[in-house]
Structure 1
Amino acid sequence: MSEPAPDPRVQSLINQLRPGVVRTVKVTGFDGADVLVQLVDAEGERAEIGRIPRYEASMRRMEHPSELFEVGQELKAEEIGRWREGQLHLSARACESPALRSFLVAFEPGRVVAGTVSSVHNFGVFVHVDGEPDGLCTGFIRVPDLTWGLINHPSEVVEAGQRITAEVIIAETRSGQVTLSLKALQEDPLIRFADQVGRVLTGPIAKIVPFGVFVQLAPDIVGFLHLADLTDEAVETPDQLVDEGEMITVKIAEVDLQRHRVRLSAAGEADRT
């Protein structure tokens, strides 16, 4: 069976985050906390007016961009798009560190890189990517990109100091970060499970949430059983009926490879025999 096609919405977002064209601009003033600039062409002539939003001015902390820029100063900035009024918006922070930018633009989505886990948090994992500029930590792995399985904390998958190999999702010059994925290098276990619709299985309840329960069907595969399918009784939450770890018999109603989810239904008496 072939791999599921990438979500076009995700691909569109990745395309928007890819580095834009670098322009030379001259500071002409400030509009509140934004920096007003004019584009300078190769001959040094003034051209189109643009704007650097405050949050795109620098990776350094500041009260106001005037602490870093002065009228008449020329600098490099990356095009990030046009707002509704048609004015070009740019990012100076994307070009603030030439060494960092050079490192980041070399990464294409899908490239495999190596690195060392720097720290592990409940929201994700920071990684020192091999070859990054000294003093920086450029890699980050979101919790959903760590593993195909259901986990309670990233420390169940990796630990600080561990060497890893991961796939690049996107390198962002504006954030100075490479978003990585460990599970992209692992086979999606759901692909081999796609023909199991209609099958009745018994497994432990892996997690209880207010609107249903997740059931462990196989290694790295969980299915979701909605509260409405769990019981006909008038209960507010599933923990009034079941406990984590409790064995439950369910029927596979749907295997969605695109969204990577398994929808379950309650197994009837006829299914159990």
Structure 2
Amino acid sequence: MMGGRSENPELWAFLESLHRGEFLSGTVTAIERFGVFVALNDGPGHPVFPGVGFISLTELSWRRFEAATDVVQVGQHLSCEFLQFDTWNLEARLSLKATQPDPFQAFVDTIAVGQRLPGQVTKLIPFGVFVQVADGIEGLVHLRELAWTPVDTPADVVRLGDEITVVVTEIDRARRRLSLSRRLDSSAGV
């Protein structure tokens, strides 16, 4: 542990004064494989880390990304939402994605179950394929929904990059999941 209230009274008091949902500004000081450190504009510095603020990878962006550097750069100024006081590391856990509208929720407002959508196959997995139906929005076509006849592996019917038409079978807002099917009608075939 970093040391508690007694070793860093000013930092402890600052972090305790923050409220969930509050916006904090700062500068990205370090990008690690586990997250991003932010030096806050207000409040004291950190005794060990390059910043009091910390954004975990899951809180960086609504969109899928390969590396944190695809989203932020060292030296970049950010405004983030405060999530919680991490008393173990004496840091402010922050969210960058909370400051932006969730593109998934905005997209599903415009579609309905049963609707057909054009899409592109972005990933093949053993039990199905992911299909991008809008910028940053992907849905899963389960193996059993890829064709009318049984399929052993997704590669039997589609390839990465294929443009296909899918139909929306389920919208799960809470889990941010879109279920799709390629079984449009009997004439679609395989």
Q: TM-score if structure 2 supplies the norm length?
A: 0.80
How many residues end up aligned between the 2 structures?
180
Q: Once the two structures are superposed, what CA deviation does each residue of 1:139-163 show, in whole Å capped at 9, x if it has no partner? A: 2222222222222222221111111
Structure with larger RCO (C-alpha < 8 A, sep 6+) = 2
2:151 — aligned with what?
233
- Indicate how the Cα distance of structure 1 residues 216 and 122 shifts in structure 2: closer, same or farther if over 3 A, else same: farther
Larger radius of gyration: 1
Runs (5+) with no aligned partner, structure 1:
1-57, 60-92
Q: Do the aligned residues in 2 keep the contact of 1:149 with 1:219 (CA within 8 Å)?
A: no
Q: Do the aligned residues in 2 keep the contact of 1:148 with 1:221 (CA within 8 Å)?
A: no
Give the Cα separation in 2 of the matches to 1:154 and 1:178: 18
Q: Once the two structures are superposed, what CA deviation does each residue of 1:104-142 show, in whole Å capped at 9, x if it has no partner? A: 112111001111112223432222222243354222222
Question: C-alpha displacement at 1:239, in angstroms?
Answer: 5.0
Q: Do the aligned residues in 2 keep the contact of 1:168 with 1:180 (CA within 8 Å)?
A: yes
2:28 — aligned with what?
117
* Residues 1:263 and 2:174 are matched in the alignment: no
1:94 — aligned with what?
4
Percent identity of the aligned residues? Answer: 36
Q: What amino acid is aligned across from residue 119 of structure 1 in structure 2?
A: A
Q: Do the aligned residues in 2 keep the contact of 1:110 with 1:168 (CA within 8 Å)?
A: yes
2:44 — aligned with what?
133
SS at match of 2:94: strand
Structure 1 segment 45-60 matched on structure 2, within 5 A: 58-59=1-2
1:163 — aligned with what?
77
- Indicate how the Cα distance of structure 1 residues 173 and 190 shifts in structure 2: closer, same or farther if over 3 A, else same: same
RMSD: 2.4
1:184 aligned residue (93, 98, 115): 98
Question: C-alpha displacement at 1:167, in angstroms?
Answer: 0.7
Q: Which moved more, 1:219-228 or 1:107-116?
A: 219-228
Q: What amino acid is aligned across from residue 150 of structure 1 in structure 2?
A: R
2:163 aligned residue (214, 224, 247): 247
- Indicate how the Cα distance of structure 1 residues 133 and 260 shifts in structure 2: closer, same or farther if over 3 A, else same: same
SS at match of 2:4: helix
Give the Cα separation in 2 of the matches to 1:131 and 1:250: 49
Runs (5+) with no aligned partner, structure 2:
none
2:64 aligned residue (150, 154, 164): 150
Q: Do the aligned residues in 1 keep the contact of 2:143 with 2:151 (CA within 8 Å)?
A: no
Q: Do the aligned residues in 2 keep the contact of 1:217 with 1:223 (CA within 8 Å)?
A: yes
Q: TM-score if structure 1 supplies the norm length?
A: 0.58
Q: Do the aligned residues in 1 keep the contact of 2:145 with 2:183 (CA within 8 Å)?
A: no
Give the Cα separation in 1 of the matches to 2:156 and 2:182: 17
